[in-house]
Structure 1
């Protein structure tokens, strides 16, 4: 005969097993496939969501829902009086992921920090040439010219010494490309001649552990049970790759996913009216633009770029693309909440007649064909790429230019864009750290033009000098004035068609809790669960 205590124990065990059996994964319908899982090689938000936010951590991080810094793998840090030496004291007891392909023998320490930075910084590092596309963020932000050395003074202390003062340096260290890897795992891969697996079989310290990836279909993760901030409430996380935002919404309504990223703004009212669904929205640090390849024939001429701006019916474009009240028409490369925004800048008025006159003056024949690269699915900066492309195509047809629209998968578009194959390229940018330099250096700086991240391939020494000076100044007002001057140079050159700074929406089932939208558009599900 069972005792009452034994009955209670068995009941508890059965309830626990039943709970496990009934536990459902958190399924997120995402907008595109990641470029890979070695985040140091990439710059796109979709890759950072799939890797930096799930699998990795950095020395410092952003407070959820803000651009305020907080400790992460570094418990604390100090900065020297001259602003050149940053000393980080590392957290103890942090565990790397255990997977079918790697079993760590030690905890995180300073060696992992050194490996993660030295492979990008040092051309002689054994892993430096193993990145198939290089290190675009590290290169476009000129970190190799900024960092003099990275050294450890003991197993839990790392010292960065800079060559010059760099106002946004701490915020830069919270960005995805500074994620910390396991040096032990890297050594294992190098010894086995399997260095490519760093990009396909990732290992980090983050809230989730990588399980498997089926290209263009699905990514599966499990919760990291030893995560230093506490195991995530969702035992399993699944990213279902769904480029069409209409299909994402259909899957959400059918409960095939519990979170659907970036619904179209005009779908938001019907989502809010559905008793099973809800919407989170946030004013983000996002800019939507079309880059004009300034190294291509005709587009080298500033008169032609101005003519294209004059032919662009921007107001109609923004209203049709985002809907009333869902986006601010852009005049700068970043939103007005960012330091250095130049409120004196104005977009050229819609004037097809003047545009035709400028094109004629510049010797552009009627019927000239311009290729426009755009993506196949909607995202935070452009909810309907096909509509956007067709609107611009119609505008430029009125002034005698033929737009050849090339729709392609996101990663393919970026690869070809970095090689400069386009005339026009529809893109967007979500600020990674809230600093103006994060927009201007990679997107419009000369290093970005060399690496291909600057899709306009525009390099102006006056602009570059001003943003270089601004990075070295700590005092915000003085920095802001330099950025305003740099943006005047940008405005004269017109390397972009400014479009908008949109709101970003996330659709969810009503029983989803713990998701915090970010102004940086990061999607971190470490605290999200389905109740």
Structure 2
């Protein structure tokens, strides 16, 4: 075997009634950008959901260091990899306690049974809990883990083995991702017995640094510090409150008034005011992200009888070359963005620098549409996110600028939006036209971009283009299944060329991340994945 070792109380009811976000001695308020769809990380793919669950309530077998993508120990203290790289053996941490809440009191510590429940629920559609609470696990399936993991075995109470069909060069990193958060098998059994399995998603139980207390949709989420956490230094707050504040201007106002001490990423237009506030810090770093426009390539968009013009390559080429990306970067990102060419950022290893955008050419775009038989005045829906994301600070403005660009080639863009959870749900079902979306890297591996977003396995998940190319898919799967780094680079670069030529997306920008926070906040680190994490964070 190859050995790898990686080395005050809640606010009173009276106080809450007077001022919901008044501060106790160690209460931190975070002005978040939106309401989570739920608290079961396995069901979701967005940072809004992960911030409220995976980054607070749960742990994973492996974890990423704070502010980076290097692996550190989590619920596993070490792991072994077999010589053929098909079996991973995880040695579990002892003495880890699940949260005690008014709705659940654990009778045992974390052990191998919890790992088996977590992954067998995702692997087996006939799992009793999954049958009682039918749900899908889009991230897990987007990465092909549902087909590549052949078995999860319990060796003993603190040893678990994962058996793979083919080599997965990023498997240990995969286990550190939010969707792999470990659930309590004992809690699940209790819910199943009571006929309340969906409570797993509404009343979460984990082993993480914060204990879930309550949630009011579109208002707030309340957590308390986990005093029994296995890594005590990571719990420096008695209370953590997410004040759900979708309006970015209101977030800035709350931060200035100290109604929250950390805010979701600001709009570029607010940076000057934030820098001028002597009570705030504004650290920044290059974003490991991409904001892009995805074209629905299905022959017919779900819910529509007419043929989908974007199913034709010439139409996508025309739409792509009509967009003035530099104008968007200037207006939307206001200097805090880098023009994107590929489907992942230049800091991701295997990025192919030889790839270039097609020149912007309005006349050629018009000619391509004519050749495709698309009449002047044809309408295409253009979906714009209702929330601000690290990769796109203002989707509405971006959509309006694209709308104006497409009008120049005779395309009428109808801008559409929904509540964030509904937006994602409908898009994953294929109801979208062209859609503004994006991604922040999760694990530092190229597959997290090229496979998760554009692979055939992701058609029901994050592949918003619904684009499935056999040549491309074979390249990324071969790359993921080899341990030879040089070979992986070569395969991923070939795949990038196939993707660029097929134009399922128009890459727009990689944004710079700015994190506004009170000078009273200590220990906060910007996540390259765009998550908001509060373990290790305290108040001075």
Alignment TM class, shorter chain as reference: over 0.9
Cα distance in 1 for residues equivalent to 2:463 and 2:528: 23
How big is the alpha-carbon RMSD for the aligned residues of Structure 1 and Structure 2?
Answer: 1.3
What is the CA distance between 1:452 and its match in structure 2?
3.6
**Does structure 2 conserve the Cα–Cα contact (< 8 Å) formed by 1:32 and 1:377?**
yes
Give unmatched runs, 5+ long, in structure 2. 1-21, 301-307
Cα distance in 1 for residues equivalent to 2:171 and 2:334: 37
Cα distance in 1 for residues equivalent to 2:117 and 2:418: 35
For 1:101, which of 100, 103, 107 is the aligned residue? 103
**Does structure 2 conserve the Cα–Cα contact (< 8 Å) formed by 1:30 and 1:240?**
yes
**Does structure 1 conserve the Cα–Cα contact (< 8 Å) formed by 2:132 and 2:192?**
no
Query: How does the TM-score come out when normalised to structure 1?
Result: 0.94
Cα distance in 1 for residues equivalent to 2:287 and 2:119: 29
Give unmatched runs, 5+ long, in structure 1. 1-19
For 2:348, which of 338, 350, 353 is the aligned residue? 338
Q: Equivalent residue for 1:499?
A: 508
Is 2:433 the partner of 1:423?
yes
Query: How does the TM-score come out when normalised to structure 2?
Result: 0.93
Is 2:478 the partner of 1:469?
yes
Is 2:452 the partner of 1:442?
yes
Cα deviation 1:187-216 (Å, max 9, x = unaligned): 000000000100000000000000000011
Q: Equivalent residue for 1:275?
A: 278
Q: Equivalent residue for 1:77?
A: 79
Q: Equivalent residue for 2:320?
A: 309
Cα distance in 2 for residues equivalent to 1:152 and 1:218: 39
Q: Equivalent residue for 1:387?
A: 397
Number of residues paired by the alignment? 510
After TM superposition, list the pairs within 5 Å mapping 1:199-238 onto structure 2. 199-230=201-232, 232-238=235-241
Q: Equivalent residue for 1:246?
A: 249
**Does structure 2 conserve the Cα–Cα contact (< 8 Å) formed by 1:245 and 1:377?**
no
* Secondary structure of 1:462's aligned partner: helix
Cα deviation 1:53-95 (Å, max 9, x = unaligned): 1000000001111110011100111111111111111100001
Q: Equivalent residue for 1:347?
A: 357
Cα distance in 1 for residues equivalent to 2:138 and 2:505: 21
* Secondary structure of 1:357's aligned partner: helix
Cα distance in 2 for residues equivalent to 1:241 and 1:445: 33
Structure 2 vs 1, CA of residues 473 and 425 (structure 1 numbering), >3 Å: closer, same or farther? Answer: same
Deviates more, 1:181-190 or 1:120-129: 120-129
* Secondary structure of 1:466's aligned partner: helix
Q: Equivalent residue for 1:459?
A: 468
Q: Equivalent residue for 1:264?
A: 267
* Secondary structure of 2:128's aligned partner: coil
Is 2:155 the partner of 1:153?
yes
Deviates more, 1:278-287 or 1:360-369: 278-287
**Does structure 2 conserve the Cα–Cα contact (< 8 Å) formed by 1:41 and 1:131?**
no
**Does structure 2 conserve the Cα–Cα contact (< 8 Å) formed by 1:251 and 1:257?**
yes
* Secondary structure of 1:209's aligned partner: strand
Cα distance in 2 for residues equivalent to 1:454 and 1:361: 28
* Secondary structure of 1:40's aligned partner: helix
Cα distance in 2 for residues equivalent to 1:28 and 1:322: 23
* Secondary structure of 1:453's aligned partner: coil
* Secondary structure of 2:122's aligned partner: helix
What is the CA distance between 1:24 and its match in structure 2?
4.6
For 1:523, which of 502, 523, 532 is the aligned residue? 532
**Does structure 2 conserve the Cα–Cα contact (< 8 Å) formed by 1:321 and 1:388?**
yes
What is the CA distance between 1:232 and its match in structure 2?
1.3
For 1:123, which of 116, 122, 125 is the aligned residue? 125
For 1:175, which of 177, 180, 189 is the aligned residue? 177
Cα distance in 1 for residues equivalent to 2:535 and 2:528: 17
Cα deviation 1:210-243 (Å, max 9, x = unaligned): 0000011110000011000116111000011111
What is the CA distance between 1:132 and its match in structure 2?
4.7
Cα distance in 2 for residues equivalent to 1:452 and 1:204: 25
Is 2:255 the partner of 1:255?
no
**Does structure 1 conserve the Cα–Cα contact (< 8 Å) formed by 2:313 and 2:502?**
yes
**Does structure 2 conserve the Cα–Cα contact (< 8 Å) formed by 1:339 and 1:476?**
no
Cα deviation 1:410-468 (Å, max 9, x = unaligned): 1111011111111111101011101110111121011111x142110000000000000
Cα deviation 1:362-408 (Å, max 9, x = unaligned): 11111111111112221201111111111001100111111111122
**Does structure 1 conserve the Cα–Cα contact (< 8 Å) formed by 2:321 and 2:358?**
yes
Q: Equivalent residue for 1:114?
A: 116
